[in-house]
A and B are shown apart, each in its own frame.
Chain A
Amino acid sequence: MLLAILVSNSAGNILLERFNGIPSEERLHWRTFMVKLGADNLKGARNEELFVASQKSVYIVYTVLGGVCIYIVGKDDYDELALTEVMFVITSSIKDACGKSPSERLFLDKYGKICLCLDEIVWQGILENTEKERIKRLIGLKPPNPTES
C-alpha cells in the first residue's frame, strides 16, 4: 500500500498531500515527520537525487524536484525499490506537466494538471500507471498509444 504522497516547498509548507489508509489523527504526525526528514537531509541535495529511509515497517523515498520536495511513503509490497519506481513516474509526470523541473510557483500554476497525473498514477494506495507518455494522454482522456503494450 502506498500510504502517502506529500509535496512541500523548500520551506516545508505542504503544497499537496494524499493519504491512503492513514487515519486523519495520525496525518499531522506524518506531515511533521517527513518535513523534518527533508529539512535534515535535503539541504544541498542534487535535483532528483533520491533519499531513502525506513521507519518501523514503512519505507520513505524522497527527493528534491526543482523548488519542491516530494515524499512517498509505502509499506508491504511498496518497499524502497517499488517506491523508487513510483517516484520516477511522479517526477517525470510532474516535469512533463510543468515542462521542466518546477519552481514552487510553476508547480502551483499547474496544480490541476498535477492532481490529474497523480490520480492516474496512484489510486487509493495502488500503483496504476507507470508510463509518463500514457499518463499524459490519459489526463486528456485520450486513449494510450496503440503501439504501447
Chain B
Amino acid sequence: MAQPLVKKDDDRDDEADYSPFLGIEKGAVLQEARVFNDPQLDPRRCSQVITKLLYLLNQGETFTKVEATEVFFAVTKLFQSKDIGLRRMVYVMIKELSPSADEVIIVTSSLMKDMTSKTDMYRANAIRVLCRITDGTLLTQIERYLKQAIVDKNPVVASAALVSGIHLLQTNPEIVKRWSNEVQEAVQSRAALVQFHALALLHQIRQNDRLAVNKLVSSLTKGSVRSPLAQCLLIRYTSQVIRESANTQAADRPFYDFLEGCLRHKAEMVIFEAARAITELNCVTTRELTPAITVLQLFLSSSKPVLRFAAVRTLNKVAMTHPMAVTNCNIDMESLISDQNRSIATLAITTLLKTGNESSVDRLMKQITNFMSDIADEFKIVVVEAIRSLCLKFPLKHRSLMNFLSNILREEGGFDYKKAIVDSIVILIRDIPEAKETGLLHLCEFIEDCEFTYLSTQILHFLGIEGPKTSDPSKYIRYIYNRVHLENATVRAAAVSTLAKFGAMVDTLKPRIFVLLRRCLFDNDDEVRDRATLYLNTLGGDGAVVQTGEDVKEFLFGSLDIPLVNLENSLKNYEPSEESFDIYSVPREVKTQPLAEKKAPGKKPTGLGAPPAGPPSTVDAYEKLLSSIPEFANFGKLFKSSAPVELTEAETEYAVNVVKHIFDGHVVFQYNCTNTIPEQLLENVTVIVDASEAEEFAEVASKPLRSLPYDSPGQTFVAFEKPEGTPAIGKFSNMLRFIVKEVDPSTGEAEDDGVEDEYQLEELEVVAADYILKVGVSNFRNAWESMGADCERIDEYGLGPRESLAEAVNAVIDLLGMQPCEGTEVVPNNSRSHTCLLSGVYIGNVKVLVRLQFGLDGPKDVAMKLAVRSEDESVSDAIHEIVASG
C-alpha cells in the first residue's frame, strides 16, 4: 500500500500509532454522553463525545431503542449552547439517530427556530435535519418555509431545501409536487449546484408527465445549464424523450444535434454521457454512431483509468449490437489488455472477442493466454464466456479455442471458474459436432485430476450420454473405470452408472463392461454396490451379448419426468416409516418462474446444469399431469386448460390460483396452492367448492393435497361432471380447508398436533370462452369462403355506450375467447367503424369463424353485426347465444 509522502518528524508521531478510539466501548461512551446534561456545558468535551458516538455508528455499531432515546434526549439539551462547532455536530448527531415520531417533538421547536433564523447556515442545516426526521403532519406546517428556502438567494439554503425535496418526494409526493413553481424557478438559478438539484427534483416531480418532460428538455437544451452534473442529467432526460418519441427514424430524430453538440463540451463527464446516450439510441445509424465512437476511442488512451474504464465499458456494449462500428478501436483496445486495472483489461478482451474476425482469433488467444495467469477468477469467468461465444460464432476455430479451454482447465482455479470452463466445453460439444471427440477427451483428462466432486459426477453423466455415440466408445472406459479406484463414493457411484450406460448402449462392449461392474460389487460403499448389482441384474449380467430391451433402458436411464426440485422437496419432507416413499406423490407442477426470469430476452446457452431438451408445452404438461391421476384418467382427451386465475390477493398467507381444465363431459379445477408462512405446515389441503350457482355441474371427485410445506407449491383438484359437449357455465365459491401445524423455525420440525382451519378464496366462474380454443387461420378470407354459408348465422346487437370502439372490440374478443386474425384486434385511432375477424375451435372439435363489424351509433353507442360460420349450425347458434347473454 502506498505510504503518504510525509516529513520524517511527522512520521515519528504516527509511529506512536495508537488510535484515539483504542478500546472504545459503547457502554462507556453512553456514560460519557451524560456530560450533555451538565448545567455548564463544555462544548469541546461534548464535541469529543459526539465524535465517539459517530465513530461507533460509523463502525456499524447499533444502539438499542432505549440507548438511542437516551442519547437523543441528551443531545437535544445541547441546543442551549451557542458554540457553533458544537451546533454543527448536534445537527449531524440528530440525523444519525433519526428519532422516532413520538420523540421528534422535543427538537421540533428548536429546529423551527433555527429554520427561521437570520443565520443562513442555521436555516440550511435545520431544513436538512427537519426533513430527515419529519412526518407528513409536521411537513405541512413547515411547507411554507421550505418553498421560500427553495428560492432563497443563498445557494446552500436552496440546495438543502431541494435535496430535502428529493428525499421527501418518496414519502410525501403530493406535498412536494406542490412546489413545482419554486423548483422551476430554481432551475434557472445561477448557482451550478442549485440548478443541478432543482433539475433532478423537477424531473422526478414530472417524470410521469411525458409532455412536461419534453417541454423541460426542449427549453433547457437551448443552453442555460451551467453545471456539468446538471448537463449530464439533461442528457439522460433527453435520451429518455428520444426513446419515448414515436419517431425512430434517424433522419429527423429530435435532439440528436444537442447530444452531438455535447460531445464537444469541456467536461469529460458530459462528453462521455453524450457518447453513451448516442450509442444507446434505438436503431442508431452508423452515421450517428461515428462521432460518439471517435470520442470514446480517444478516452481509451486517456491517462485516467476511470475514463478508460467508462469508454471500454460502453464500447463493450456497442460491440454486442454494432460490432463493425467498434473495429476501428481494436488497436487501442489491444493495448489495454496489459492495463494495470484488471477490470479494464477484461472488458477490453471481451470486447475484442466480440469484434474480432476469424483471422484474428489465433493472435488474440496468444495475448489472452499471457493475461489469464494474473487475473482473478471472476474476470476469468467473463473471458471464458466470451471465448465460448466466439467459438460458436466461428466453429472452424474450435480446435484452437477448445485447446485454450483445456489448457486453462488444467491450471489452478476455484469451482466457479472450473465450472464455467466445463460448461463451455459441454456447450461446444453439443453445438459443434466436429469438436465432440476432442472435447470429450479433454473432459476425460480433467476428471483424472479433478478436485470437485460435483464436476466429476456431472462430467461422468455427460460422458454416459455422449460417449457411446462416438466412433470409438472404448477409449473412454479407462478414464471412467479409473474413477472407481481413485475417487470418493459419490464419484465412484456416478462412474458405475456411466459404465452401465456404455454397456447398455454398445453391445460389443457389454461383456467387458460386466467384468468391470462385477468388480464393483465389492466396493465398500452401499450405493456403489447397489448400483452395480442393479445394472448387472437388469442388463443381463451373464455376460452374453444380448440386446438390452428399450423398457430396461427407459427404466434405468430414462428421465424421471418429475421436476427435480419437487422430488428433492418431497424427499426432504418424507419421514422414514413403515410406509415407503411414493414417487407418485411428488407434485409434477413446475414451480412458476419469477417474472423477471421469464422476461429475460434470448436464450442463454446452458451447460451441464440443464438438460438440452426444453420443457414440454403447458398443455402437454397438464395433460400428462391429469392423466397420471387415476380419478381423472377416464375423462378422455383434455380439450382446453385456462390460464391460472388468482383466487387470492398478492401477499396473502396462502397464495392460490386455479386452472380450469375442460374435458368433453367434465371440468377439473386444479388449485395451485403456496404456503407463504415459514412457521406453518398445512396438511390434508382441500378446496370445498359450492356449486349452487352452477346448476349443470355435479362434483364427482376431489383429490386433496397431503402436505403443503412452506414455499413449496402443491396442487389439489376438484372434478365436476357436466352435460357432454355443451358449454355449461356457472359460478363456484371456494373455501380452502386444511389442518395447520406449527413449525419450529429453528429445527424445521412440525408439531404433532394440528388444528383444522379454513381460508376463504375468491369466486371462480366457468364461462363460455372456456369452451373455445384460440386457433388462428393463416388466410381468413379463404377459410371463410371454404366454410360456406350453410351454417351461417347473422344478427345485429347494440352494445350500448362504450368508452371507445377499441374497448368494445376487446370486450367481445374476451367474451368469445377466440383468436383474432390478421391483426384485426387493433382499432386505428379515431375510427368510427371497424371489422374484426376471429377464429377458434369449439368444444367437440368444431371449427368456428366469426366476422364482427362494429360501428359508432351516436357519440358513444356501439352497434355490432355478428356473422358466424361453422361446421355445425348449433355451434353458430351457440356463439350468438354467448354474445346475446354476455
Contacts and interface: CB of A to CB of B under 8 A. Distances in A.
A10 B1 contact: yes
Interface in B166-204: 166-167, 190-193, 197, 200
Nearest to B93: A115
Nearest to A123: B163
Interface stretch (B229-237, B637-645, B705-713, B867-875): B229-237
Interface string B76-95: 00000000110111011001
Interface stretch (B302-310, B508-516, B576-584): B302-310
A129 B342 contact: no
Interface string B34-50: 00000000000001101
B306 A126 contact: no
Interface residues of B, number: 76
B17 A149 contact: no
Contacts of A65: 4
Interface string B529-566: 00000000000000000000000000000000000000
Nearest to B124: A138
B518 to A, nearest CB: 51
Contacts of A134: 156
B415 interface: no
Nearest to A139: B88
A45 B54 contact: no
A116 interface: yes
Contact of A103 (B4, B50, B190): B4
Interface string B293-333: 00000000000111101100100000000000000000000
A81 B159 contact: no
B31 to A, nearest CB: 19
A111 B85 CA distance: 14
B277 to A, nearest CB: 12
B60 interface: yes
A64 B2 contact: yes
- Among B58, B85, B88, B154, the most chain A Cβ lie within 10 Å of the Cβ of B58
B2 A81 contact: no
Given A126-B166, A144-B156, A52 B17 contact: no
Given A51-B305, A115-B92, A105 B19 contact: yes
A146 to B, nearest CB: 10
A29 to B, nearest CB: 13
Interface in A31-82: 31, 40-47, 49-54, 61, 64-67, 69, 77, 79-82
B611 interface: no
Contacts of A40: 376
A14 B59 contact: yes
User: Per DSSP, are chain A's interface residues mostly helix, strand or loop, or mixed?
Assistant: mixed
Contacts of A83: 306
Interface centre among B51, B226, B233, B272 (most CB of A within 10 A): B51
Nearest to A102: B4
A96 interface: no
- The residue among B122, B191, B310 with the most chain A CB atoms within 10 A of its own CB is B310
A40 B121 CA distance: 43
Contacts of A41: 341-342
Contacts of B166: 126
Contacts of A112: 47-48, 50-51, 54, 89
A43 B4 contact: no
4 closest A-B pairs by beta carbon, nearest first, are A66-B4, A112-B51, A10-B1, A141-B121
Given A105-B19, A141-B121, 4 more contacts: A17-B60, A42-B2, A138-B121, A144-B156
24 contacts: A16-B55, A42-B1, A45-B1, A53-B343, A80-B309, A80-B313, A81-B272, A81-B306, A82-B229, A84-B269, A85-B269, A100-B4, A101-B4, A102-B4, A104-B19, A108-B21, A116-B92, A123-B128, A126-B166, A126-B200, A128-B197, A140-B88, A144-B155, A144-B156
